[in-house]
């Protein structure tokens, strides 16, 4: 896989510019086409009226287009901008999922509860990664990320979602200067042999020209996601690669909540696949 078509989600939040800059950085690094998609609910209209674009939403879209075109033209990146036909809540989620299916990577911003006015639905990134069949990159609302992926951490548990995330992130991993594979051992997994799949992944990465090191640690089930983020922070990671889980029945009750926790709290960019 190569990154030749990157989609960046745009709305009226104060963090949109950071997403555009992240998209430009990756587009320049991989020679990719960058597409901006303005998609946000029209909170000033009822669900029926929202199917017609309000003046408020139209003005927001105009500002979005001006910012996106100015940034991409200044950077010399081949790009185009689009807006959804209207801002009905479910339409925003459904159409963004469809647009993402035709991109190699879609960039979203981490939801900021303190600046939620004029933003997309809180669950948008999660719904896209679970339903689009394509990888999602989430940029934190706090911090500045001029470099993404030079120090990458892979959260590895040898399951389908993790394998998909590794495959989808391969262009970024191949450009990284440091790659660490972290296996989190919880009470549920500590009794299972982890050496074989972990060594298998290192060999797989080596065949793709990626030199990686492995690390594993044990935690209580409840603190697994926080422990993973702490390990990534300790390594100075500017990219976390992990598989995303939806809501499943017992015994996988909390897996979807772990994905949501990372989406809401990760202090570094996170690439997720499902």
Is residue 250 scored above 70 in pLDDT? no
Please determine, for residue 251, whether its predicted confidence score (pLDDT) is greater than 90.
no
Both tokens assigned to 130: 């679970």
Strand locations in the chain, DSSP E? Answer: 5-10, 33-38, 79-83, 105-109, 136-139, 151-155, 178-185, 212-218, 239-243, 270-273
For CATH 3.40.50.620, the residue range(s) in the chain are 5-139, 151-273
Three-class SS state of 252: coil
H or E element that contains 130: helix 124-131
Is the pLDDT at 56 greater than 50? The verdict is yes
How far is it, in rounded angstroms, from Cα 10 to Cα 17? 9
* CA 154/CA 242 separation, integer angstroms: 6
Q: How far is CA 105 from CA 169, 233, 273, in A?
A: 9, 24, 10
Q: Which of the 8 DSSP states describes residue 134?
A: S
Class of domain 151-273: alpha beta
Selection from 181, 172, 242, 241 nearest residue 212 by Cα? 181
Looking at residues 25-50, what average pLDDT do you find? 85
pTM over 0.85: yes
Residue 119's pLDDT band, with cuts at 50, 70 and 90, is confident
CATH number of 5-139: 3.40.50.620
Q: What percent of the chain has pLDDT over 70?
A: 87
- The per-residue b/e assignment along 88-109, b for 16 or more CB within 10 angstroms, e otherwise, is beebbbebbbebbeebbbbbbb
């Amino acid at each position: 896989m190569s990154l030749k078509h990157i989609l960046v989600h745009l709305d009226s939040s104060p963090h949109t510019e950071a997403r555009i800059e992240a998209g430009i950085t990756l587009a320049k690094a991989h020679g990719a086409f960058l597409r901006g998609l303005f998609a946000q609910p029209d909170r000033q209209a009822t669900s029926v009226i929202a199917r017609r674009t309000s003046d408020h939403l139209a003005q927001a879209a105009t500002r979005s287009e001006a910012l996106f075109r100015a940034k991409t033209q200044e950077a010399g990146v081949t790009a185009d901008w689009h807006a959804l036909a209207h801002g009905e809540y479910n339409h925003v989620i459904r159409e963004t999922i469809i647009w993402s299916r035709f991109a190699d990577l879609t960039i979203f911003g981490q939801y900021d509860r303190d600046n939620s006015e004029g933003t997309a639905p809180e669950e948008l990134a999660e719904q896209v990664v679970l339903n689009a069949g394509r990888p999602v990159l989430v940029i934190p609302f706090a911090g500045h990320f001029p470099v993404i992926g030079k120090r990458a951490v892979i959260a590895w548990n040898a399951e389908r979602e993790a394998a998909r995330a590794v495959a989808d992130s391969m262009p970024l991993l191949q450009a990284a200067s440091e790659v660490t594979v972290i296996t989190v051992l919880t009470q549920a997994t500590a009794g299972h042999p982890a050496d074989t799949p972990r060594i298998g992944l290192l060999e797989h990465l080596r065949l793709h020209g990626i030199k990686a090191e492995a690390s594993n640690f044990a935690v209580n089930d409840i603190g697994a996601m926080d422990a993973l983020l702490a390990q990534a922070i300790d390594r100075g990671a500017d990219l976390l690669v992990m598989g995303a889980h939806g809501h499943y029945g017992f015994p996988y009750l909390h897996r979807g909540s772990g994905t949501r926790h990372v989406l809401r709290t990760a202090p570094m960019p996170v690439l997720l696949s499902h």
